Amino acid sequence: MKVGDLVRNLYPRCRHEIGIIIDVDAISGDVYTVVWMHGEIEYMNSADIAVISEVSNGD
């Protein structure tokens, strides 16, 4: 599974300690912009996504 597919599988219902992912866009290589429900835009790479995935799947 590609990282982009993994990220897209996490939203819009991915609950993490800082909120819910509402949008994800690939920008370059394995770097993505992630938009959280509260409005924060964050840059993430595959390692960040793996951590979110583990936390989300643990709920």
Residue 59 included in any domain:
no
- Domain assignment present for residue 24? The answer is yes
Domain contains 26:
yes
> Total domain count for the chain?
1
The predicted structure's pLDDT at residue 1: 40
Neighbours of 20 (CB within 10 A): 14
Mean pLDDT, rounded, for 18-34:
79
Number of Cβ within a 10 Å radius of residue 52:
21
In a domain, 47, yes or no: yes
| Model pLDDT for residues 28-54, shown as the tens digit of each residue | 888 888 888 778 888 888 787 777 766
| Domain residue limits at 33 | 3-54
Q: What pLDDT shows up at residue 2? A: 52
The answer to the question of residue 35 being in a domain is: yes
User: Per-residue pLDDT for 13 more than 60?
Assistant: no
Q: Is residue 9 part of a domain?
A: yes
